[in-house]
Structure formats: structure tokens, C-alpha cells
Amino acid sequence: MDHQALLRAVESSDCTVFMEWYEKAQSQNNLAVKESVDRLSKNELCGIWTVFIKWVMDMTNSLKENPDSPEKDSIMKVLLIMSTMATYTIENISTNEPQGLSPSLKAMNGSLKLVTCKKAGASICEMSEHYWKVHPELEMILSVNVISWLLTHALHPKATMTSVKRLWSLKGSIEKLNPQILERSGLLELFLSGISNSKFISSNEGRKCIACLFNFGPSVVQALQKTIKKFIPLATTSDCEALGEIYFKAWRSVVTEESRADIEFSIQDIMYNAVIAFRTPVGAVEGGMNKIPMNKLLFHLLHALHRQRKQRTVAILINNLYKPILWRYLEASNGLVRANALCLFFDAFPFESGEGVEEDEVVRNKQWQIMLAALLDPVPLVRSIAIQGTCRILTEYWEIVPVNIIQDFITALLRKLLYDSSSADVRANVVKGLVTMLGSNQTHNLLEKMIPLTNKVLHDPNEKVRAEYVFLLTHVQKLKISKLWEVIEVSHLVARLAMDSSKNVCRRLVVLLAPFYYPKATPEIVFQRCLRLVIDNREASRKFYQHIDNCVGVEQMAELILIIWKFLRNHIHKKLEQNRISQEREETARQNRSRVAKRSRRGEQVERTEETIGDEDKENQDESTDDDGEDDGSNEEFNESSIIGLIDVMCILLSGNKTKFKAPQNVAFWEEIKSSFHKTCSLFFRYFKNSDGLRSLIYLYGLMSSTASTLVLSFVKSQLKSLTDEATCKEFGHLVDVMCNWGRGEDLLEFITDHLHEILISFVSDQSSENCDSRTRKGTGKKRVSFKKTNKGKPMLGLRCLIYILQHPYNKKIILRKNLIQMEQLCDSLKAVTLIIENNPEILNNKDSFLFVAASVYVRTLLVLTSFYQRTKDEELKYAESQEKILGVLGWIARLMVDENLNPLEGDLIFSVVASISNLVVIHSMSSEVHRQFLSSVLQAVKRFPSSSHLTLAMNCAHSSLVFIWTERSIGNECDAECDRQINDIIFYVLERPSATESSETSEEVSLNEDDWIVMRNVIRKIMEECHRHSPEKHESIRTIVRKMGDTIRQEMLQYQQSEEQGDVACLHQISKAIIAAFRVRNVLAKMMLDEIFESLKIDEDEMVLSNLVAITRLLEHLSQDKGQISAGTFVHAINSFERWWSTVGEIEKRANADLVSHVNDTIKDLKKAFSI
């Protein structure tokens, strides 16, 4: 491009004209501007910079005066263009530079802190770097602003790794800085903020930037150390490893011995803190929350140093730094400190003195003795760490460990620690350690002899130990160290599989036994192994094939099912043929004996005939015996139980993998299985009809379609019809499952409806019936009913079947999808029960009566339909109708409670209904109107029937409702304040209800049984957690609940402050004890409750302050005896709050209550001493 155009644009002295030229030139060619600058002479360059300097000065001054100027974008654009022109100019000057270049450049460099445009800032930084390469004496002045700008952008949350690399490209300039410039320019503060930037220190360049700061003297090193220690509690483990690498890079690149000493002192400080660190999260700290234990964070930091120990200089450094710390704390009296020290010891192993061979040998022997002592430490945690570390060292350093030391280690591990009865973790860690040792080929010769001696561990009472031992055997099997049956008998593994209830252990056992009982061989061999397992242990076979899908594919399972089917078919044919032959022989023998009887009066002829017949019978008997003996010999262990076991195997394989079988790629296998079983349906049914295997056979055919087993379908229907009214789910459960699997829900619901319909008709009579004994109700138009006994139908059977369907997730899902209309009709027909009970409450005589159960089932059915409507699209209208029906049920409850002489069983029925409806609150399937009515019913019911279980249920409903309304509010739905008031009323009633103490119980008190008290405690804790989640200080309704709980405790303490035993919690009521037990388990809850208790003192009368403070003292004393999860900081905060309130009590009042004051002073003194205040 013609450079004359550039000169003309500048001569206009109009920045806008120049910018238009620049943009036009850039749009044509990216190098056009540079080419134009290159063609300018020295005089022309000087001329344009006399104009540029004015523009630059105007822009920078404007930016400094008003950083948020509305013209900021245009200013940034001008600075970008000017810095680019300056860069091009610097590249073209040799000796004499333009007069206005240097002031312009310095002005733009000075404005870097105010530059927010990334392109403009990067361009100014590039310009500055080019200029100080031409003028090295200006590097210190210009680089400060450049480094500051690059560092600020590298620390930005959206910064990329490119920004960090660009910063590290100025390594030379950073190293030329000094502590005074760092502090004066604010660079030190920026670098320190980079330490807490996870993204910055995760990059190698970022870590190098921080590491180079350790060369700037003691003051900077102290600032770095302080910042790192402040950041560690908030860091992650990866952050801490990055910090460890920073220390190592700093130590490796150190320049002076003084700086090296400062770095080593900092590292040693970290080591000391790692030894005495907490092994649990600290919680709230300055700047955030500590969620990872400090010992773990510091361990990861030091691990970054320890893994460099292969360098001899680093190994010597580690030994020298740990020498005054580690050896002493390995023998500390505190077990947790020893545990921390031992973790660092094993991670830094081996230690080298660097003073010579003999000295290194002394240090090494000392390490062996430390390991042996740690293995026998009295603290289980220390022993567990010692086991892990020792086994790792034996694996990695087998060659340098003396033989006698190895013997001592193995003896301690396998003879003592493997059978440590005091700690399951210790035993589990021994097994884990053996797995670790298997990773080294050098240990195999020893372990091949030792592992067989450990087979008793398979039956360890702890699940974790058993699982780890099976994992060990799996490794032994994979590595082929020895044959598995040489280590442990397979029968023991099978027995353990049969008796073990742990799914984890069973899965691992199946993987271990799969090569034996499901080898990669022909289907015939697999079947033989299957049959052997069924014969040996039927329960083990069930569990084996329940988890075998993790080891084999669908095709292999299909092959096994088909070969079992073939075997059963042939076996049944053979058995039926043997039965036929046996019957024919018996018939022949009977006929022969009949002929002999007719010839009994003949002489010699008769005798000869008898001998002949006797010989024939003997031959027949011998032949039969031989056959039987041969059959028994070949199937000595095979019996009917084994046949049923094989059917169970097929059922388990099909039911557990039904989805896989029906996948498109496996449909062929599924169809072949169905076809095969369809062919033999009548054969199997005829054989098993009167045996124990019929139930398993029905379940097996239930997994297939009903068209493939019409005979079984007819039999199932007849079995359902033949059941008695007293039949339990054990008798009909499999029949209902099969009908649902076949999609015969219509028949099943018809069966239930028929049995219920008959008895419902028998209950209802006309209003004018003379035998009606029902109570007279207010209003007109209501039916009267009478109780008529009937022997028709099986109503309880129908109800139990319906309950079974509702409780079974898979059956319920099928029925609701395919038979929704029938289910709705059945629900509507059950509604009549509510009318019967309402008009004749005296009919209820026990909880097992038809009406009681039917009413509960009606409500449950209605609720199931409601939740189904909510989950299903296009069912909004039905969902609204179901809400109206629930309102009707709640209205029915209200009408029942009108009667003053209410039958107690009605109270149980009411709470049964309330418990069912509360499930809708949990799943948020309830409208606001229904929710308000529900809360009203709960409060009315608990006031009417305040028993132990009812109080607990009411509190549970209050908690569910509290979660409900605040969840609805969080998603933008409105919930009126009436619901808050109702929830608070329920909670207040339960808290105010007199509950029994351990020492006495009056007629007005309600005694919570042990189970209900535990539930009450847990519910109160959940309510507290919900209140804490929504901040009591922000919401008055929430604060009211917390305050009421605090007042309940305080009033209890006030009531019993004159008891003989000060602080004796036996005098507290059960509710108060539940509240204390609830907040003791979480520190945040305890702090919330104690703060609210002190806050409530502001609203009490002045004369009650002393009594309240005495009560609070007793509470703090009781809590200090069993702190639970309450932290020392919470106690300190409470004691300080107490002292502020205690100072407000007048001296006259204190003198009037000298005994109480003395007790308070002694108690607070003891608390201060306990918490080191």
C-alpha cells in the first residue's frame, strides 16, 4: 500500500481520519500497515510521531481521569493502533529514533493497569518488550507494568494456559526484580493470589512463576509461606501436590545458600504441621470451609517431594529435614500423631544419611525396627497404616530387606495381625497387603507357601475382610501362582457363597468360581458343572447364576437354558416310561397271583405251578431290582430336589436377564427358548403337578407369554379360585406374579372385584330397614346401613391380593399401564366402605377386620392412582379429580372425629389413612388446597389421639410438609403463610405435649416407646436441618420453630433446676432429650440452637434472666459431658455469649441467689478449663 496515504492521514491531524485509513489498510492486507511504515524515511517517522504523541497523551490522560468513560472503547482502539504502530517503528529504527516515540511508549505502558481490552493490552506488552530489548536500561521500569497486566489476566477465572505461558516467557524480567519493587508495585500481592488460584498452579509455567519468587529474600519467602499455609485448608489434594512441586522447583533452582536455607526451613515447617495435623475436616476456617482432613492435604503436598527421592541429593535432604521431627513423633504418646508420622515415614522410605555406607546401614536398621514396632502398635489405626506400608516396602524393596526381617514381618502379619480380633480393618489391611505383595514376582515363592495357611479368613465375621480375601484368591488364580484348590477347597468357596448375605462378596465369589462351574467349554460340559453345583449346594447355585451375567454373555446363558430343558425333557420321559413299566409288572404279578389262588387245591400240578410262578416272580423281581439299582447307582445324588434346582437356575437366568434376552440382537435366543418350553408344557405340567417343583415351574412359565402355556394359565386360575379366605401372600404371591407377567391383570382384578363385591352388597341395606343399628347423623338424605354376616365370597383374600399388587413395584406398573380403567372401577367400588364406617363405627372390632383393612386399601389405591396420573401425560383432568377425592377422604376423617364417643379403632384407622396420604407430600403429588386440609386433619387427629406412635407420625408429617412448601417456593410456586402456621401448630403441639421422664409417668403424660423415641429424635434432627438450610434469621416461620425447640429445653431446665442432682438428665422429658440428642450429632445444628437460646433471652422479662442463665449453664454442662459432634469452637462461642449475658445480671439479684450463682461460677470455670479458655 502507498505510504503516502499514511502521511496524508497523519497530516490531517485528525485521529478519526487516521483510524479510518488504518482499518481500510488492515482489511485489504494484514501486512499493509507494516509495509507502509517500512517505506517511511527517518524524517517521515519523526514527523508522524510528533502527531502520534499528542493523540497518545490525550487518550492516556483521558483514561486516567475517567477510567469508566463512555468513550472507553474508542480509547482502547486508539491505544491498540498506536501500540501496533510503535512496534512497527521500533523494528525499523537503528540509531536515531523518532522524538515522540519514547514518551508515547512510556505513556501507553503506564496506562496498562487501566487497559481492559485484551488485544490492546497484549499489543502494549509486545511493544514494551520490543523496546526494552533495544534499550535494556528501561527493562526494569517497563517490565513491572507488563508483568502486572499479564499476571492479572493469567489469574482471571476465564484465563487460558496461553496467558500463563505468555507470563512465563518473561522469566528473565521476573528474575531481575527485587523485593522492594515487588512490594511497591503490588506484584507480590498478585503473585500471592496466584497461589490460591487452582488453574494457575495446575500449569507447569504457573508453578515455575511462583517458585522463582523464593529467590527474593526472607521477607518474600515468609509471605509465600504464610499464604500457602492459609490456602492449604481450602485446597484440593491436586492443589497440594502442585504446591509441593513449587517447593521442589524452588529448592532445585535456588541461587544462594541463604535462599536454600529459607526454603528448607519452610519445607520443614510443613513437615512438622503434617505430623500434628487433624485427621478429620476442621470445618469453617478463614476464607471458606475445610472439607478434606488436613493430614491428607499436607501428605499430598509432601508426597510431591517424596517422589523425587530417587535423586540422592533429594533423599539426603528429606532425611535431614525429617531427622529432628519424624523419629521423635513416631514414638509420641498420641496414637493419631504416630499415625500421621508413620504415613510420612512410609511415603518417604528409604531414608539415607549420605554420610557413608555404615551410617546408611545404621539408619536402615533403625527403619526396620520402627516398622516392626508399628505392626504391634496398640492403636488399630497405626497397625493398619503399618501393614499397608510394610507390604508396599516388601513389594518394592524386596532385595534390600534382610531375610530375618522378612521372616519377622511375615510372622507378625500372618500369625498375629491376620487374626486381630480387636479390629476388622487391621485384618482387611493384611489381606490387601498380600494382594499388594503379589505385584512383585520376587514374593511369589514365599506367598505360594503362606497363602494356603490363611484359608480360615474366608469365613471371617466381617464382610469387608471376606471380600478382600476373595479378591486375593482371584489374584492368585489370575497370576497362576498356584492352583486354587491347593490354596483352599472349592467346597469351602461354595459353602461360603451359599451362606453369605453380602452382594459384594457373592459377586467376587462368582468371578472366582466361574472357571470351575461355567468354563469356556461345550454346553454339555457347562451343564455337567451346573448339575454338579445344584447337587452339591442348591442355595449356592441360585446365588451363582444370579451374578453369572457379569462373566458370560446372553448366548452362553441361552445355550445352558436349552440344554437344561433338553435334559429335563429326557429325564421326565425316562421317569414316566419307568413308571409305566413298573405299573405293568405289578399288574402282571397280581394276575399271576390270582391264577395261583385258583389252582391252590390241586396237588403236584399246583406245586409245580407255584414253583414255576415263584421262579417267574423271582426273575421279575430281580430284573426290577437290577434296573432300580442301576438307576440309583448312576443317579445316586440326583433327586427331585436337584430337578427343582435346575428349574430355579433357568428362572434366575431368565428373570435376571430378561431385558438382555429381549434386546433386538438376542431375540432369536428368546424365541427359541419360548418355542422349546411351549412344546413340553403339558409334559412338564403332568410330571410336576403333585410335587414341590410345581411352584418353580409356574414361575418359569410366568416369565414367558401366556399363549405359550395355556395349560399352566388354566391351572393358575383354578388355583386362585381354590384358595381360602385365610390364604397368605406366600400361598398366592407366585400366582399373582405370573398373572401380571402374562398381562392377565384383567382376570386378576375381576377375581378381586368378585370377592369384594359380594361382601360390600351384604353390608349395605336400605334406609328404611327395621334392623338398622346405625347412629343417627345430622342432615338428611344419607343412607343408613346395617351389618349382615355372609359366608359368600373371600373378601380378605381379595384385599390381600390387591395389597400385594400395590406393594410389588413391577406388578403395580403392569396393572396401571394395561388395566387402569378396571383399577379405577375397583377403587370406586371400595369407596362404599367409608360410608359404611361413617354410619356404623361400632362395626369396627379389630384391625384385621374387613372394613378396617378395606378402608386403608381404598386410600392407598386412590393415592397410587393419583401419583400415576401426575407422572403420566394427558392425565391432568384425572389428576385434578383425584385431588378432589383426596379432599373427600380428608373430609371423611373430619366427620369421623366429630363424634365425642369415638371408637379407639377409628383413631388407628384415621392415622393409617394419614400415614398413607403423607406419602403424597413426600413425592410432591398434592395441591396446595389438599395440603392445607391435610395439615388441618393431622393436627385435629393428633390432638384427639395423642399416643406414642401418633405423635411421632404427626411430627413426621410436619417435616414432610416443611420440605414440601420450601421446595415449592424454591421453584417459584406460591405457598401461603397458612401452611407455615399449620406446620408450626403441629410441631408446637408435639413439643408441648407432656411426655414421660425416666423417673415418673402420670396419666396425662405420653410415654414414647424406644422405637418411637428414636424416630422422633431423627425427625427433629431433620426439621432442624431443614430450618438451618433456609436460614432462621431470614424467615420468621423457620425461626419460630427453632426458638420453640430452644424454649422447650430451656423450660425443662428451669423446671428441674431445683433437682437434687444438678445436671441429671434423667429428670428431662423424652421430647427434650430427643431435641438435645438431635442437635448433638451436627455442630451447625448445635450452634444454631445455642444462638437462638441466647437470642430468646432478649424477649424475656428482666427478672427471669438469672433463672434462664442457670438453665443454660446446666444445658452446657450436660452437653460437655457428651459432646457428640459439637466442636470446641461452638462451646467457646456459647460460653462467651453466656458471659456477656451474665454481666447484665445485677449484684443484688446475685446475692439473693448465692447458691445458684456459686454453682454457675463453678460450672463455667470447669467449662473454661475443659476448653482451654
Taking CA atoms, 526 is separated from 474, 493, 518, 951, in Å, by 21, 19, 6, 59
Task: Give the lowest-confidence range in 69-83, 292-306, 530-544, 1005-1019.
Answer: 69-83
| Confidence class for position 393, pLDDT limits 50, 70, 90 | very high
Give residue 156's Cα distance to chain centre. Answer: 34
Q: Which one is predicted more confidently, 94 or 241?
A: 241
The secondary structure of 579-611 as a DSSP string is HHHHHHHHHHHHHHHHHHHHTTT-SHHHHHHHH
pLDDT confidence of residue 1172? 65
pLDDT confidence of residue 779? 41
The pLDDT tens digits of the residues spanning 1067-1084 come to 567 888 888 888 888 888
| Confidence class for position 777, pLDDT limits 50, 70, 90 | very low
Residue 925 has pLDDT above 60, yes or no: yes
Q: Which of 186, 245, 244, 249 is nearest to 213 (CA)?
A: 249
pLDDT confidence of residue 540? 93
pLDDT confidence of residue 1057? 53
- The SS3 call for residue 289 is strand
782-806: average pLDDT: 67
pLDDT confidence of residue 564? 94
Distance CA 48, CA 1102 (A): 84
Q: Which one is predicted more confidently, 267 or 106?
A: 267
pLDDT confidence of residue 1050? 81
pLDDT confidence of residue 1142? 83
Task: Give the lowest-confidence range in 22-26, 221-225, 594-598, 918-922.
Answer: 594-598
Sign, Cα dihedral of 411, 413, 415, 417: positive
pLDDT confidence of residue 861? 92
The secondary structure of 97-130 as a DSSP string is PPTTHHHHHHHHHHTGGG---HHHHHHHHHHHHH
The pLDDT tens digits of the residues spanning 1090-1117 come to 888 888 877 655 557 778 888 888 888 8
Query: What percent of the chain shows pLDDT beyond 70?
Result: 90
Residue 472 has pLDDT above 90, yes or no: yes
| Confidence class for position 599, pLDDT limits 50, 70, 90 | low
C-alpha cell at 841: 363405627
Residue 531 has pLDDT above 80, yes or no: yes
Quick count: other Cβ atoms within 10 Å of Cβ 131? 22
894-899: average pLDDT: 86
Largest CA distance in the chain: 161
pLDDT confidence of residue 1163? 83
pLDDT confidence of residue 792? 55
Are residues 909 and 834 in contact, defined by beta-carbon separation less than 8 angstroms? no
Residue 470 has pLDDT above 90, yes or no: yes
Are residues 847 and 911 in contact, defined by beta-carbon separation less than 8 angstroms? no
pLDDT confidence of residue 1056? 58
- The SS3 call for residue 995 is strand
Residue 136 has pLDDT above 50, yes or no: yes
Distance CA 249, CA 1139 (A): 51
| Confidence class for position 780, pLDDT limits 50, 70, 90 | very low
pLDDT confidence of residue 559? 93
C-alpha cell at 461: 465375621
Q: Which residue is listed with cell 452382594?
A: 503
571-600: average pLDDT: 82
Residue 71 has pLDDT above 60, yes or no: yes
pLDDT confidence of residue 251? 92
Q: Which residue is listed with cell 433446676?
A: 1057
651-673: average pLDDT: 90
29-54: average pLDDT: 75
1041-1066: average pLDDT: 68
Distance CA 906, CA 636 (A): 61
Residue 612 has pLDDT above 70, yes or no: no
Taking CA atoms, 1025 is separated from 344, 437, 547, 958, 1029, in Å, by 38, 46, 40, 14, 6
Of 79-88, 527-536, 842-851, the range with the highest mean pLDDT is 527-536
| Confidence class for position 788, pLDDT limits 50, 70, 90 | very low
pLDDT confidence of residue 1097? 77
Residue 1000 has pLDDT above 50, yes or no: no
Q: What's the whole-model pTM score?
A: 0.75
pLDDT confidence of residue 996? 52
Residue 1059 has pLDDT above 60, yes or no: no
- Which residue type occupies 120? A
Q: Which residue is listed with cell 406460591?
A: 974
Residue 1167 has pLDDT above 60, yes or no: yes
| Confidence class for position 243, pLDDT limits 50, 70, 90 | very high
Q: What is the mean pLDDT of the chain?
A: 83
Taking CA atoms, 59 is separated from 67, 87, 875, in Å, by 11, 18, 67
Distance CA 793, CA 171 (A): 94
Query: What percent of the chain shows pLDDT beyond 90?
Result: 30
C-alpha cell at 290: 475445610
850-859: average pLDDT: 90
